[in-house]
A and B are shown apart, each in its own frame.
Chain A
Amino acid sequence: MPRILATFRAVIGTAVIASLGLTGAAYAQKRGGTLVQLTSPEPPTLASYMNTSFAVPQVTGKIYDGLLEYDFSLKPQPSLAESFTVAPDGKSITFKLRHGVKFHDGSPFTSADVQFTFMDVLKKVHPRGIGALRELEAVETPDDYTAVFKLSNPAPYIVMALAGADAPIIPKHVFGTGDIRNHPNANKPIGTGPFKLVEWRKGEFIRLDRNPDYWRPGMPYLDRVVVRFIPDASTRTALLEKGEAHLAGYGTVPFAQAKRLAGNPNIEVTTKGYEMFSIIESITFNTKRKPFDNVKVRQAISYAIDRQFIVDNVYFGYAKAATGQISSNFAPAGFYTNQVKNYAVPDNLAIANKLLDEAGLPKKDNGIRFETTLDTTAAYGEYYQRSAEVVQQNLARIGIKVNIRSEDVATWLNRVFTQYDFDMTEVGLANLADPVLGAYRALHSVYIKQGAVFTNNSQWSTPRTDELMDAAARELDPAKRGALYKELQQLTAEAAPAAWYVETQFPTAYSKKFKNMITSPQGLQGSFYSTWLDQ
């Protein structure tokens, strides 16, 4: 039996005990209360099995359970699956399902629902599932409470992608009839989660009430969760300050205002709850265009960018300097290393100038080496524009004149990922729960696909890095995987297909009246079954 399996068993064992302990101590938690949560924009749909826009799971994470959930060090914990075992060859995973779980319509949850969810829905229509479940060949159901994943190759990352927010378990008897892409129940979700949908008044709010038949005894504690959509950032802050709303995160609270809210005695601001999200912001280069096909130019730019300045002045401290495409949140798992080429050295500008001279781009009489365009979009928040302005100033110091071009999201996506019509652009990629799920698409040659957004738009790859990523995807031993990732990070830092500048640490602001608000690495996308109001 591989070591990884033993570790998982031990972890699950302790988790079961821990959750029993939690129930035992439930006398302290009070029941009742309404939580008002803010999102922006409004979720376009509640069909989280086919739309992963970040606002969607903030609602559906409370309605749909997954097979597993995760603790802050990204270790799997039981949820609808009480335990799982990975076969020694890594090609099958057996899930033991919880007994006595009911969907919101009263029907029982069985392995048939798991089979249907993965094979007929997530593998076919889930934007990330299509990729993440590529190795999943079949789900066998020997009995009602056992589901066996059959894989064509070992895929240890699959058990990292089974939370309710990412892989919601949906009832076969409801969603199994009719076209899943256009299902009448898309916006009338029926899950097993702690809260049920009562009403969605478009443009105003979504109301979720407690599920009285929830399988965790005595939970959830809250009577109701109301999700409101407030488009204007200043208004959102005003609502939180006034106590009309209690919770907001994921860039819904701008970095500058988070700092101000943190000074409010009634409001807690935390950066916890993004460990399974881990956005890395980068300037990616079009390596098929001159002069960015030259590694020296890319390195020079990486040297010139003042990461700490961006952290302090654009993100107001809600970020940290990045070293590569793999997030430091993977350090506990052993997948992250900072032993890579260091661009934040004191004589960075001298080195950058030297590299550009060597690349045959001398300073002309006006002090400019060359002129280029930095593409960005205003859609994700003001900080993209601000970062671009910092980069513009940084690069001016080494003689590169940068013009910033800011476009709306559809135009920008089309330019950068479909037309590849750019020199440099800002791209933020989530690492998600595993490097296979998040980082590969930026670095692997199979992801050089025109039209597929948020993929390898720098169009850079080498046979060796592809090989490293392929091997790591199938490697069951975490230590061996870690070694592969270390080499990958060193090679990519050297080649600099992108200048990674920060790891975003989003602030979540919430009312201190509420306890146990952020209890999972998925933060606002978690299910909130243990959240309670101290009235």
Chain B
Amino acid sequence: MQLNHSGLRFVLRRLLQALPILIGIAVLNFLLVHLAPGDAATVLAGESGGAPPEYLAQLRAQFGLDQPMYLQLLRYLRNMLTLDLGYSYRHGETVLALILDRMGPTLLLMGLAFVFSICGGVLLGIAAATALNGWRDRLISVLAVVTYATPLFWMGIMLILVFSVKLGWLPTSGMEDVVAFNTGWARVLDIAWHLVLPVLTLSLFNMAVYTRMMRSSMLDQRGQDYVLTARAKGLAEAVITRRHILRNALLPVLTMAGVQVGALLGGSVVIESVFAWPGLGQLAFQSLFARDYNLLLGIFFLSACLVVVVNLVVDLLYSAIDPRMKLG
């Protein structure tokens, strides 16, 4: 793939097309979030174990919740246009600062899980398809079904119980050892160590999806005419698999991966809760229950942006894997 003139134009056009979609999402999110009964002031008072009405009125005025909804929406959209995501009164910080703070850990977790699940899924799929109905195929297929059917949170807790509590090999939770206060390479290693279980948990579900998909896709491609042709030309089976079948079989997996990014974000909410990972998922979860509108909307908005960008990247990858596909 070369990002030549037309490629660049394609990217720009796609980004431009995304703008109205993102604005639509922002408005829709705003309305949906405000449909839920109760507001941030009530929640804060509730958490405080009660508060007099004076206190609540004070909070509402401070948060701007005493204004009519359409004014709040207009103000929100105006702020969005200047890339101002607002202020979280609950946290006493700007939404952007809060999100940027949490973005790193989530991208690290999601990115690794994304790569790991695709690579693992593709490899396992190939391994299964090339040993059709053998023990290897059966084993992989059974494992895929089991991991697909296991709820994420349960898988996470079981892995913690086995590998942390019983065997003591891996840390239970968090992103790093908060008592050690490591720096430099020691810290990097420590974080890598803490990544093992959450990445594994988050990957397993998607890996199962990709494994099954890759397997059936490989089998499907193997029966195609071009494979017969290749075989008739006398190419070795390994070469046919690697150079012909693989490329074509990869495409549906890639499509699926693009769609699954949103699901991955959802999964990271669960994983971050189980492993106390300091990421966006946890923040979103908390802000939903606290009716921290500004923060919640900010997270939704950035997630939408992320999905748009990943799908764009997937489309670019498409043309890299299969040069017959033109960007446009």
A-B complex is real: yes
Q: Which of A41, A242, A412 contacts B172 (CB 8 A)?
A: A242
CB–CB B91/A45 < 8 A? yes
Contact size class for B?
A: 35 or more
Instruction: Select which of B46, B53, B92, B278 is within 8 A of A409 by beta carbon.
Output: B46
Top 7 nearest A-B pairs (CB, nearest first) are A410-B38, A203-B278, A454-B50, A127-B51, A53-B47, A414-B38, A52-B48
Looking at A125, A205, A228, A453, the one whose CB has the most chain B CB atoms below 10 A away is: A453
Q: Which residue of A lies closest to B88 (CB)?
A: A44
In the complex the two chains form, what is the Cα distance from A205 to B275 in whole Å?
14
Q: Which A residues from 119 to 142 make CB contacts under 8 A with B?
A: 125, 127-128, 130-131
Per-residue 0/1 for B37-53: is the Cβ within 8 Å of any A Cβ (1 yes, 0 no)? 11100111111111111
Q: Contact mask A147-189 → B, CB, 8 Å, 1/0?
A: 0000000000000000000000000000000000110001100
The interface stretch among B125-133, B204-212, B284-292, B297-305 is B284-292
B168 and A242 within 8 A (CB): yes
CA distance A111 to B13 in the complex (A): 66
B175 in contact (CB, < 8 A):
yes
Please indicate the chain B residues that have their CB under 8 angstroms from the CB of A453 in the complex. Answer: 42, 45-46, 50-51, 56
Which residue numbers of A lie inside 8 Å of B, CB to CB?
A: 34, 36, 41-42, 44-45, 47, 51-54, 125, 127-128, 130-131, 181-182, 186-187, 201-205, 207, 226, 228-232, 234-235, 238-239, 241-242, 244, 379, 408-415, 417-418, 429-430, 441, 449, 451-455
The answer to whether B92 touches A45, judged by C-beta atoms less than 8 angstroms apart, is yes
Cβ-based interface call for B54 (8 A): yes
**For the complex, is B160 an interface residue (Cβ under 8 Å from A)?**
yes
Interface set, chain B 38-89, CB cutoff 8 A to A: 38-39, 42-56, 58, 62
B164 adjacent to A409 (CB under 8 Å): no
Measured CB to CB, the nearest residue on chain B to A428 is: B49
Pull 29 A–B residue pairs with CB atoms less than 8 Å apart, ordered by A.
A41-B286, A44-B90, A44-B91, A44-B290, A51-B44, A52-B49, A127-B55, A130-B54, A130-B55, A203-B277, A204-B175, A204-B278, A226-B178, A228-B178, A238-B164, A238-B172, A242-B164, A242-B168, A242-B172, A244-B171, A244-B173, A409-B38, A410-B42, A413-B46, A414-B39, A449-B52, A452-B50, A453-B42, A454-B46
Q: A130-B51, A230-B276, A231-B282 are in contact. Are A452 and B289 (CB under 8 A)?
A: no
Q: Does B232 contact A (CB under 8 A)?
A: no
With known contacts A228-B174, A454-B46, A125–B58 Cβ distance under 8 A: yes
Question: A203 and B282: CB pair below 8 A?
Answer: yes
Q: Does B94 lie at the interface of the complex (its beta carbon under 8 Å from any beta carbon of A)? A: no
Q: Is the CB of B37 within 8 A of A411?
A: yes
Tell me the complex Cα distance, A127–B48, Å. Answer: 7
Cα(A111)–Cα(B38), bound, Å: 41
How far is the CB of A1 from the nearest CB of chain B, in Å? 34
Report how far A416 CA is from B24 CA in the complex, Å.
Answer: 34
B97, closest chain A residue (CB): A202
A-B pair number, CB within 8 angstroms: 179
Question: Nearest residue in B to A407 (C-beta to C-beta)?
Answer: B37
Residue of A201, A232, A234, A414 ringed by the most chain B CB atoms within 10 A: A232
**A203 with B102: CB separation less than 8 A:** yes
- Beyond known contacts A204-B178, A452-B53: 20 more, CB 8 A cutoff: A44-B90, A45-B90, A45-B91, A54-B49, A181-B62, A182-B92, A202-B102, A204-B278, A230-B173, A234-B157, A234-B160, A244-B173, A409-B43, A414-B37, A418-B38, A451-B42, A452-B52, A452-B56, A453-B51, A455-B50
- Complexed CA–CA distance, A204 and B175 (Å): 8
Query: Are A207 and B274 in contact, CB atoms less than 8 angstroms apart?
Result: no
Interface residues of B in 249-305 (CB under 8 A from A): 272-279, 282-283, 285-286, 289-291
Partner of A202, one of B168, B178, B278: B278
> Residues of B contacting A231 with CB < 8 Å?
272-274, 276, 282, 285
Would A414 and B178 count as touching, CB distance under 8 A?
A: no
